[in-house]
Amino acid sequence: MNRKEIVVISKYLRTAPTSKVKNFLSLLIEKKLMMTRKSNKKDKYKVKTVTEAKTVAKNYLKSLDLEKVTEFGLPEVDDRYHIWRVPVLRKDKGTTEKLGEIVVDAETTLVSEKKTTSKEVLESRLLGRQTGKKKRRTKVEPPKISSLRNTVGFGDSEELLSETPNESVDLVFTSPPYFNARPEYAEYLSYEEYLLKMRKIIHQAHRVLNEGRFFVLNVSPVLIRRASRSEASKRIAVPFDFHQLFIQEGFEFIDDIHWVKPEGAGWATGRGRRFSADRNPLQYKPVPVTEYVLVYRKKTDKLIDWHIRKHPDQKIIEESKVEDGYEVTNLWKIHPAYSKKHPAIFPLELAEKVIKYYSFKNDVVLDPFAGIGTTGKAAVKNDRRFVLFEREEDYMKEIKKNIKSWFKAEMPKINWLNMANPFNEETAAK
Ligand SMILES: C[S@@+](CC[C@H](N)C(=O)[O-])C[C@H]1O[C@@H](n2cnc3c(N)ncnc32)[C@H](O)[C@@H]1O
């Protein structure tokens, strides 16, 4: 279907003898346009072949520990919804049984958990059990207590997350890398590519988060400076694009908190200087002194009350109560923090508030973009465990240098991923 054909049909349309022929030709054009749009979309697919669809499905089954007991049928692409359907089979003594299917988003490579047969159904079909109708009323399970130790991982957080067990984390608090805002950050080829990477990390975070727990994100619009005097600078509304990603990945929106900095903090951006001199309408640009702290919850049918009443250790619930002097409104006035070692840290005070309000003592707090480890320090200070992932060596060095000082008492054992235990190295060197 190409443009030429559409042009030719349009020509006939103009001179068509009857309205019946006209209607027929219009329908034909519409159909051809639709097909052209579809094939344009197909060019953008990141999962293009049967083998690629099977690889994504295989990794997904691996994360469920089911890859050894299942096989795949022939994946089919569904270009109405831009997805691949990968049948999951069990082959046993010459018979083949379909257990379900894995649905892969062709544009993003992500598995759509909503459309994919659930782990429970796959497992019970593997065991030949009945599911669905005959379900007996079961007792309400208590919330899970994670067995993860304090962990520091060096490398790409998408990869490190893929090795993190399901439902092993109780809170995610992080601030993402800025999209090309500063040269020292990762450069992405396009904003779409940046968002896709973020979506993959949010997807993994959803999997590792415990039922009904929170993902809190510190994020703000990004200023792309003008390349020359004749061009305008651009502001990208990053928080609103993140909101879409959270909703697509199975989170519900809970709150937008505004972190307010003192006025002086925003002047460094240069915004508002021109207006303050000329005072021309339309040139008005406010000096940005706020950042968002967006709060999302992993979708669940459980009420918050369930986390509190069914928690297996009621002493922890009592000890985690938030003291007087907490933030009553969604305007949090906090001074920004600066570090010689990192250009964009958030203040310890911000991390502490988030941790106190959105987790219980002994919970596991994950920061997939850990920087110099502010979230880890705040977690320890408030008797929580931490999981920190960071891919820049210099920032990792800072974490290693300071981690002992985070603990009042002796430092407990830490899981060091993708690197040697720095403290063993220390002893070895002595
Ligand atoms: C905004 S900073 C976070 C700073 C941190 N909140 C602190 O207070 O130190 C984002 C961090 O994410 C890291 N980063 C970016 N992409 C990453 C990835 N794919 N995996 C792991 N870390 C990444 C950057 O190196 C940077 O240190």
Q: Specify the pairing of strand 95-105 against strand 83-92.
A: antiparallel
Query: Rounded to whole angstroms, how far apart are CA atoms 290 and 268?
Result: 13
For residue 178, give the ligand 1 atom closest to its CA. 1
User: Minimum mean pLDDT among 104-108, 180-184, 382-386: which range?
Assistant: 180-184
- Give distance in angstroms: CA of 345 to centre of ligand 1: 9
Over residues 310-356, the pLDDT tens digits come to 999 999 999 999 999 999 999 999 999 999 999 999 999 999 999 99
List, chain by chain if needed, residues with CB within 6 Å of any ligand 1 atom.
156-157, 175, 177, 186, 342, 344-346, 369, 371-372, 374, 389-392, 395
Query: Rounded to whole angstroms, how far apart are CA atoms 130 and 119?
Result: 14
75-82 own/partner pairs: CB under 8 Å, 24+ apart: 75/50, 75/104, 77/53, 77/106, 79/38, 79/41, 79/42, 82/41, 82/45, 82/106, 82/107
- Say what the pLDDT of residue 147 is: 95
For residue 369, give the ligand 1 atom closest to its CA. 12
- Say what the pLDDT of residue 20 is: 83
DSSP classification of residue 111: B
Q: In the predicted model, is pLDDT for residue 25 greater than 90?
A: no
For residue 370, give the ligand 1 atom closest to its CA. 5
- Say what the pLDDT of residue 429 is: 45
For residue 156, give the ligand 1 atom closest to its CA. 20
Helix or strand or coil: residue 219?
strand
- Paired tokens of 176: 């993402």
- Give distance in angstroms: CA of 11 to centre of ligand 1: 57
212 in Cβ contact with 298 (< 8 Å)? yes
Q: Which residues pair with 417 in a beta bridge?
A: 153
Q: Which of 96-110, 138-152, 194-208 has the highest mean pLDDT?
A: 194-208
- Give distance in angstroms: CA of 132 to centre of ligand 1: 43
318 in Cβ contact with 308 (< 8 Å)? no
- Say what the pLDDT of residue 271 is: 80
- Paired tokens of 17: 């003898």
Q: Which residue has the higher pLDDT, 153 or 122?
A: 153
- Rounded to two decimals, what is the model's pTM? 0.80
**Cβ contacts of residue 308 below 8 Å, gap of 6+?**
317
Indicate the top mutation candidate among 335, 350, 390, 419 to test ligand 1's pocket, ranked by most ligand atoms within 8 A of CB: 390
**Cβ contacts of residue 419 below 8 Å, gap of 6+?**
154, 396
Residue 94 has, within 13 A of its CA and on its CB side, a CA count of: 0
Q: In the predicted model, is pLDDT for residue 359 greater than 60?
A: yes
- Say what the pLDDT of residue 131 is: 54
Q: In the predicted model, is pLDDT for residue 130 greater than 70?
A: no
Q: Which residue has the tokens 């990192």?
A: 342
pLDDT above 70 covers a percentage of the chain that reads 94
- Say what the pLDDT of residue 240 is: 98
150 in Cβ contact with 414 (< 8 Å)? yes
Q: Specify the pairing of strand 209-219 against strand 290-298.
A: antiparallel
Mean pLDDT of the chain: 89
Q: How remote is the C-alpha of 390 from its chain's centroid?
A: 15
Helix or strand run (H / E) with residue 176: none
